């Protein structure tokens, strides 16, 4: 029986939420292959994160626990993950495409003489082979990557590629096994410093009821004021897409999405935001999404409960006037 190994990610005992999405991707891949799923977890103290995975439907949860794995260092993670892969000899090794995976997984794949098929958004089977799809040029083109040759094949899935709420669970509980990576802390040359918490004094949008979020369609920094006035009228806060933060129109702590904050407001009002997968993954918890966009075919309208096809610079002043006047 072939198997699919998914390496879940934890930091300081907390499971990275995209790990569950990767487990769902692994479950779907295994179902298509008629294979088993094994889940791996790597770190110093794994009790808390293992607890979060206890009802996942999988063959077993394999723990590679070693004090040398905390704090994170690629130098220790690669042999730990390598021990896991060698012990299970899987056909596919699936991971969430997190910053940590970007750091250690290429080196892990290379240590097996393989490549990492990174940031995949989906897969399909064709003529007995598995094809993974990756986006190119900011999502303008899709590329098919064929996983051919000897296993293991290493693949990471983009945040939002699979839905965490589609996780197959089993109340009987997952069997737990341990894998000894045989790490020798004295041999490790990398010293990890404490992580930088850029968000310490930043804006916390995670518990806000109304978010007015600006995208590139707002056109210029001067027009951010319109969004701020609308947010004030609605007793809300202002969020932003990544290009708006990258342009310096708003500080990075306003960014919503896979590399920003995840939010769950009652109302998310998107002004001139196209609705890329990386943005929408941060908005999954929103109860109601409303969007204003000049392009009726913008992907945001697929996710939106309400939409206005129009120019934000024309529509927002009218909304402010209506709300303040009303
Ligand atoms: C690894 C990675 C991580 C990423 N992380 C994030 C993330 O955390 N958050 C994030 O947001 N993005 C992220 N991105 C970028 C993401 O892929 C998109 O490029 C980005 O979300 C697009 O931002 P946007 O919608 O503001 O801009 P665009 O895609 O340029 O869309 C602008 C929209 O405004 C509309 N528009 C133009 N003029 C007007 C007008 N006058 N009135 C109304 N509508 C108008 C257009 O029709 C268009 O739909 C990430 C990308 C990568 C590769």
Say yes or no to pLDDT of 326 above 80. Answer: no
pLDDT of residue 158: 86
Q: Could you report the per-residue pLDDT of 184-203, keeping only the tens digit for each?
A: 988 999 988 877 665 545 67
Question: How many CB atoms sit inside 10 A of residue 266's CB?
Answer: 12
Rounded Cα–Cα distance for residues 10 and 25 (Å): 18
pLDDT of residue 137: 76
Mean pLDDT confidence for 94-115: 95
Q: Could you report the per-residue pLDDT of 143-156, keeping only the tens digit for each?
A: 999 998 899 999 99
Same fold, 3-187 and 210-325: yes
244 alpha carbon – ligand 1 mean position (Å): 8
What 3-state class would DSSP assign to 244? helix
* 94: its two tokens: 């699936």
pLDDT of residue 141: 82
Rounded Cα–Cα distance for residues 174 and 61 (Å): 6
What are the residues facing 256 on neighbouring strands? 261
Q: Which of 273, 303, 310 to mutate to test the pocket of ligand 1 (most atoms within 8 A of CB)?
A: 273
Rounded Cα–Cα distance for residues 95 and 109 (Å): 12
pLDDT of residue 200: 46
pLDDT of residue 1: 56
Q: Which of 47-56, 148-157, 187-196, 215-224 has the lowest mean pLDDT?
A: 187-196
Contact 248/231 with Cβ under 8 angstroms? no
Contact 256/263 with Cβ under 8 angstroms? yes
Contact 207/179 with Cβ under 8 angstroms? no
Closest CA to 183 of 101, 64, 269, 273: 64
Bigger pLDDT: 214 vs 262: 214
Pocket of ligand 1 (CB under 6 A): 138-139, 215-217, 219, 241-244, 255-260, 272-274, 276, 278-279, 282, 292-295, 298, 311-313
Question: How many CB atoms sit inside 10 A of residue 304's CB?
Answer: 21
140 alpha carbon – ligand 1 mean position (Å): 12
What 3-state class would DSSP assign to 232? helix
Bigger pLDDT: 173 vs 164: 173
Mean pLDDT confidence for 266-273: 97
* 148: its two tokens: 């051919």
Say yes or no to pLDDT of 84 above 50. Answer: yes
Mean pLDDT confidence for 122-147: 88
Q: Which of 138, 218, 243 to mutate to test the pocket of ligand 1 (most atoms within 8 A of CB)?
A: 243
205 alpha carbon – ligand 1 mean position (Å): 19
Q: Which of 138, 215, 271 to mutate to test the pocket of ligand 1 (most atoms within 8 A of CB)?
A: 215
216 alpha carbon – ligand 1 mean position (Å): 6
Closest CA to 311 of 236, 174, 219, 239: 219
The alpha carbon of residue 142 and the mean position of all alpha carbons in its chain are separated, in whole angstroms, by 19
Q: Does 71 sit behind a cis peptide bond, omega within 30 degrees of 0 on the bond before it?
A: yes
Q: Which of 159, 246, 257, 307 to mutate to test the pocket of ligand 1 (most atoms within 8 A of CB)?
A: 257
Closest CA to 88 of 6, 184, 147, 16: 6
Taking the CA of residue 241 as reference, the ligand 1 atom at the shortest distance is 11
Mean pLDDT confidence for 215-236: 96
Q: Which CATH class is domain 210-325?
A: alpha beta
Mean pLDDT confidence for 151-167: 90
Question: How many CB atoms sit inside 10 A of residue 234's CB?
Answer: 17
Taking the CA of residue 313 as reference, the ligand 1 atom at the shortest distance is 41
Domain boundaries, the chain: 3-187, 210-325
DSSP string, 166-177: G--B-TT---EE
The pLDDT-based confidence of 51 (bands split at 50, 70, 90) is very high
CATH fourth-level superfamily of 3-187: HUPs (3.40.50.620)
323 alpha carbon – ligand 1 mean position (Å): 27
Mean pLDDT confidence for 24-40: 96
- For ligand 1, atom 29, the nearest C-alpha belongs to 274
pLDDT of residue 237: 94
106 alpha carbon – ligand 1 mean position (Å): 28
pLDDT of residue 202: 64
Q: What are phi and psi of 144, to 5 degrees?
A: -90, 125
- For ligand 1, atom 51, the nearest C-alpha belongs to 278
DSSP code of 131? E
23 alpha carbon – ligand 1 mean position (Å): 28
Contact 242/214 with Cβ under 8 angstroms? no
Contact 63/201 with Cβ under 8 angstroms? no
Say yes or no to pLDDT of 29 above 50. Answer: yes
pLDDT of residue 127: 87
Percent of the chain with pLDDT strictly greater than 70: 96
């Amino acid at each position: 029986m072939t198997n699919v190994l998914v390496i879940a990610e934890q930091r300081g005992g907390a499971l990275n939420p995209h790990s569950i999405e990767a487990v769902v991707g692994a479950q779907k891949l295994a179902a298509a292959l008629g294979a088993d799923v094994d889940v791996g977890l790597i770190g110093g103290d794994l009790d808390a994160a293992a607890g979060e995975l206890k009802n996942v439907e999988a063959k077993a949860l394999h723990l590679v626990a070693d004090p040398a794995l905390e704090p994170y260092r690629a130098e220790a993670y690669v042999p730990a993950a390598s021990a896991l892969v060698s012990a299970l000899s899987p056909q596919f090794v699936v991971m969430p495409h997190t910053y940590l995976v970007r750091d250690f997984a290429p080196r892990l794949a290379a240590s097996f003489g393989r490549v990492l098929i990174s940031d995949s958004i989906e897969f399909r089977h064709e003529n007995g082979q598995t094809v993974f799809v990756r986006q190119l040029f900011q999502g303008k083109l899709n590329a098919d990557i064929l996983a051919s040759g000897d296993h293991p094949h290493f693949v990471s899935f983009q945040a939002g590629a699979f839905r965490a709420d589609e996780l197959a669970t089993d109340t009987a509980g997952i069997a737990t096994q341990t894998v000894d990576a045989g790490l020798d802390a004295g041999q490790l040359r990398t010293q990890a410093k404490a992580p930088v918490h850029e968000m310490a004094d930043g804006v916390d949008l995670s518990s806000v009821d109304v978010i007015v979020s600006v995208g590139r369609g707002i056109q210029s920094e001067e027009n951010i004021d319109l969004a701020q006035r609308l947010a004030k009228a609605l007793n809300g806060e202002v969020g932003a897409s990544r290009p708006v933060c990258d342009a310096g129109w708003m500080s990075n702590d306003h960014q919503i999405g896979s590399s920003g904050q995840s939010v769950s407001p009652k109302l998310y009002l998107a002004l001139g935001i196209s609705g890329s997968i990386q943005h929408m993954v941060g908005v999954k918890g929103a109860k109601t999404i409303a969007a204003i966009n000049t392009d009726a075919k913008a992907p945001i309208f697929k996710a939106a409960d309400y939409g206005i096809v129009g120019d934000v610079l024309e529509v927002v002043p009218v909304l402010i006037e209506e709300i303040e006047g009303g």
